[in-house]
Structure 1
Amino acid sequence: MTPQAVSPARQRAEAMSDGSSLVRGPLKGYHHETYVLSPPGGSVTVKLREPRSTSLWFDRRCFQSEEELLRGLQGRIDRVPGIVDVEGMGLQTFIEGRTLGEHRWRGRPVPDAVFGQIVDLFRQLTRITAGTLRVQRRCSPEDAPEDGDTDAFLKRLVVFVEEQVYAANRPVFGGLFAELGVRDEALVHLEKNVAGLTPRPFCLLHGDLHRENFVVDPRGGLWTIDWELAMVGDPLYDLATHLYLMRYPADQEARMIREWCEVVEEVRPGSSRAWEHDLPLITGFKRAQSLYTDTVRAALSLREGTGFRWAALPRAAAKLQGAVAAAAGPLGLDAVPGRRQVMAALARWHRETAALPAE
């Protein structure tokens, strides 16, 4: 049997460590090939991450460097990875522990001790504004609306979905989108649907607060990792994204909303203004955004070389059908296809695009 080639990322990790036997990885992750290593003479372990060439990026990134952002957050956000300079590279420290996802709490109540630390994280985020964060941003002026312009903030996110997700992938996936009932006018409807948000003072947002981005260390401390999607904007957007991704039970979701309102108002009055009206609108945007990304990923996940993973089709179609149903309202879709229709659409997409490489 021919030995598997060692990736360049693995080679770099071994060269930076005290020995190849001390390199762990690759760790589970979609966007990056990640290894954990101990630099020579170092007292901490760090992560070496290289972007995967096959990864699809469907989210806007607003800071030039996640590592530089983390440098700027030291002492301002409790328990975020530190940065260690190794051979001219800033590497994040590796947090020993288990993610909330690994604790198998998905869909179940989060323990009170963890819940309280998440609320404290929102408190700390609300204190950090664009004017107090000396970290270089990559966004253009039009992608950085004036403080409090929540309408412009969310409109730019809709435009990003339209240009960088839908239009960019339409040449290959346009037929599949159409079979699901998702046409050009859907995003026009979405933009109108989310218009009219109440102004709220902007602050730093993590942008991706889900269970895999929270690590509980052996002492019970909650660490927040993966800050690549951080941005400055409407604090209610961070709450909406968090609730959408965490899947709290209904009573704990209501508690999170209540306690979030209390802490953000304590820090910056007006941060939760009109949340009852605006939170459902922003959550609707998240459901719509997910449909576009889920469609592309579902189709590519079924491709295996030049073949098709028929055994995985029913489950993938069921998940995608659920995404269409969830996004139907915000996108103004006329009808929601059934699971069999979605299965047929995915199989047809594969036949018509069989020459494409696998994900």
Structure 2
Amino acid sequence: MSGGSTLVEGPLKGYHHETYVLSPPGGPGPVKLREPRSTSLWFDRRCFQSEEELLRGLKGRVDRVPDVVDVAGMGLQTFIEGRTLGAQRWRWGRRLPDAVFEQIITLFRQMVPITAETLHVERRCSPRDAPEDGDTDGFLKRLVVFIGEQVYEANRAEYGELFEELGVGDESLVRLEKSVSGLTGRPFCLLHADLHRENFVLDPRGGLWTIDWELAMVGDPLYDLATHLYLMRYPADQEARMIREWCGVVEAIRPGSSREWKRDLRLITDFKRAQSVYTDVVRAAMSLRHESGFRWAALPRVAGKLHDVLSAAAVPLGLGDVPGRREIMTALAHRQRDLTGLPPGKPSGPAQR
């Protein structure tokens, strides 16, 4: 397709996909060719049948999203030249320049008017996974159910004992559902649902592009803001400004979109923290595997990260006693013993809680 392997760049860095950039002869310019990694785990619900068809549907409605072009009978996304915010000097937790910040506000402004009735793109979710417009409680409950079915139960045979040893059992999801229930109704709109720094590309002219729309859905607009704040980790004053400007934008377009945001933003953030426990436990265990054997040197660092994740989600999951870092190291080492049938050895690291 490219006319020669020298015109192919990649694979690019990415968790879920193996991605290449190629320039077909006589084509529209660089395009991305992606294939899901066979070894990656998918822990997020997908609403639309095709990301490319969604991007076609957003054409002219949302600024600076990748175009979709037909190449050899396939719809491929154009490659956006530039660098992600995560690759710039504005890494996780750092302050964004005003020019970039305002473009994110514009993105929210353009998504709020887009609803299920105005977006004619095929969806894959079943009717029971598509609550009625405004049913924010049902929307979040379906996400809790998804974690239970597609993350916890789907990986229980391999990781169930590890979850139990970390204090996360069957009752944890029940507690989570109860702790985040009672959301105030808000009119639904299009959500990107994964707005973090690696999904924003700043081009050489300063234009901010939004990529990776595969987790997009229609739902509670406050969920998109909560997810964005949770993933971006803005400095406190810039987070407060984002909330303030977001509320002004969405209320001006669809009144009621920010209703009871103070209470509900906390509840949705609690859900995001709990969601991280289920995904990060599995990914942490997987990260310790290597062709040459168990990565003992990485064990203290991985256990420390898991301790932070468990501590942050202790309230919504009802964890009365969060295991300390050494206990987490022991649990991960037990899983290695169970996999290999060999004594795991004595993990090293500070015995602190």
Amino acid at match of 1:102: A
Task: Encode CA deviations 1:268-314: one digit per residue, 9 max, x unaligned.
Answer: 00000000110000000000001000000000100113610011111
2:216 paired with 1:245: no
Aligned to 2:340, the other structure's residue is in SS state coil
**What is the aligned counterpart of 1:64 among 16, 24, 49?**
49
Q: How far did 1:354 drift?
A: 3.0
Following superposition of structure 1 onto structure 2, how do residues 289-300 of structure 1 map, counting pairs within 5 Å?
289-300=275-286
Distance in 2 (CA, whole Å) between partners of 1:61 and 1:42 is 30
Please name the residue that 1:12 is paired with: none
Alignment partner, residue 8 of structure 1 = none
**Corresponding residue number in structure 2 for 1:275:** 261
Looking at structure 1, the residues matched to 323 and 178 of structure 2 have their Cα atoms a distance apart, in angstroms, of 24
Q: Per the alignment, in what secondary structure is the counterpart of residue 234 of structure 2? A: coil
d(CA) in 2 for partners of 1:354, 1:113: 53
Matched, 1:42 2:27: yes
| 1:79-110 deviation per Cα after TM superposition (whole angstroms, max 9, x unaligned) | 00000101110000000000000013221111
Instruction: Say whether residues 1:17 and 2:5 are aligned partners.
Output: no
Q: What residue number does 1:198 align with?
A: 184
Deviations 1:126-160 (CA, angstroms, capped at 9, x unpaired): 01000000000000001011000000000000000
Matches within 5 A, 1:1-359: 16-105=1-90, 106-305=92-291, 307-354=293-340
CA distance in 1, matches of 2:340, 2:76: 39
3-state SS of the aligned residue for 1:147? coil
Scaled by the length of structure 1, what TM-score is found? 0.94
RMSD: 0.9
Distance in structure 2 (CA, Å) of the matches to 1:312 and 1:270: 47
Counterpart Cα distance in 2 of 1:306 and 1:150:
47
Q: Distance in 1 between matches of 2:138 and 2:12?
A: 37
State the alpha-carbon separation in 1 of the partners of residues 89 and 288 from structure 2. 26
Distance in 1, matches of 2:262 and 2:292, equals: 49
Q: Which ranges in structure 2 are unaligned for 5 or more consecutive residues? A: 342-353
Sequence identity of aligned pairs in percent? 77
Code of the residue aligned with 1:227 in structure 2: it is W
Q: Which amino acid aligns with 1:155?
A: K
Question: Which amino acid is 1:215 matched to?
Answer: V
Alpha-carbon distance in 1 for matches of 2:157, 2:215: 26
SS in 1 for 2:264: helix
Whichever residue aligns with residue 153 of structure 1, its letter is F
Residue identity matched to 1:269: P
Q: Alignment length, in residue pairs?
A: 340
CA–CA distance in 1 between the matches of 2:146 and 2:93? 30
Check the 8 A contact 1:306/1:354 in 2, yes or no: no
Question: Whole-Å Cα distance in 1 between the matches of residues 268 and 28 of structure 2?
Answer: 44
Residue number in structure 2 paired with 1:5: none
Q: Distance in 2 between matches of 1:167 and 1:286?
A: 19
Distance (whole Å) between structure 2 residues aligned to residue 95 and residue 170 of structure 1 = 39
Q: Which amino acid aligns with 1:233?
A: G
